């Protein structure tokens, strides 16, 4: 078995997690969110679900829907889809719970951190230079 295959077999991407502070509000309280990376198949699924068709039949990417899918499926703690958590916040849907408890910038920061954890927003050229040295 080649070193590359050994590496791939030993490092599956379906359980990569991290803990983050979505904002100063949570950092000041010492409260971290646990997030997980998006796998390739899930990424494609989210993209498809976030496509909407306008009145002219043209497809448009709905970033709000995409952000919701990322948070509902890739934030482990707190769970925004847990019935118990939703009820505790006085809400009836995950969407209500999300927008009642997080600021717009916090939502954006969480999505950004999930994307970074998933391999996006990394400067590939930096890795090439590091590998050369």
Looking at the domain assignment, is residue 54 inside a domain? yes
The residues facing 61 across adjacent strands are 51
- 60-77 tens-digit pLDDT: 999 999 999 999 999 999
At 79, give phi and psi (nearest 5°): -80, 125
Angle at 44 between CA 21 and CA 48, to 5 degrees: 105
Query: At 36, is the secondary structure helix, strand, or coil?
Result: strand
Question: What's the pLDDT score for residue 131?
Answer: 47
Looking at the domain assignment, is residue 72 inside a domain? yes
The residues facing 59 across adjacent strands are 53
Looking at the domain assignment, is residue 4 inside a domain? no
Looking at the domain assignment, is residue 42 inside a domain? yes
Question: What's the pLDDT score for residue 121?
Answer: 75
At 20, give phi and psi (nearest 5°): -135, 160
At 19, give phi and psi (nearest 5°): -115, 135
Q: Which of the four pLDDT bands, split at 50, 70 and 90, describes residue 11?
A: confident
- 12-40 tens-digit pLDDT: 888 899 999 999 999 999 999 999 999 99
Looking at the domain assignment, is residue 132 inside a domain? no
CATH number at residue 29: 3.30.2220.30
Q: H-helix or E-strand containing 71?
A: helix 63-74
Q: Is the model's pLDDT at 78 over the cut of 50?
A: yes
- 95-133 tens-digit pLDDT: 999 999 999 999 999 999 999 999 997 555 554 455 444
Distance CA(43)–CA(45), nearest Å, equals 5
Looking at the domain assignment, is residue 66 inside a domain? yes
Structural domain boundaries, residue 108 = 13-121
Looking at the domain assignment, is residue 7 inside a domain? no
Do 47 and 66 touch, CB atoms closer than 8 A? yes
Looking at the domain assignment, is residue 40 inside a domain? yes
Cα→Cα distances 20→2, 50, 53, Å = 35, 25, 34
The number of distinct structural domains making up the chain is 1
């Amino acid at each position: 078995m080649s070193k590359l295959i050994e590496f791939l077999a030993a490092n599956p991407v379906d359980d990569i997690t991290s803990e983050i502070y979505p904002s100063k509000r949570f950092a000041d309280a010492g409260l971290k969110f646990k997030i997980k990376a998006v796998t390739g198949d899930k990424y494609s699924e989210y993209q498809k679900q976030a496509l909407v068709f306008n009145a002219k039949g043209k497809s448009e990417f709905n970033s709000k829907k995409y952000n919701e899918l990322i948070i509902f499926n890739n934030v482990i703690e707190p769970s925004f889809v847990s019935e118990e958590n939703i009820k505790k916040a006085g809400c009836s849907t995950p969407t209500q719970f999300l927008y009642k408890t997080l600021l717009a910038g916090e939502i954006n920061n969480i999505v950004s951190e999930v994307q970074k954890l998933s391999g996006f927003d990394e400067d590939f050229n930096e890795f090439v230079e590091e590998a050369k040295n």
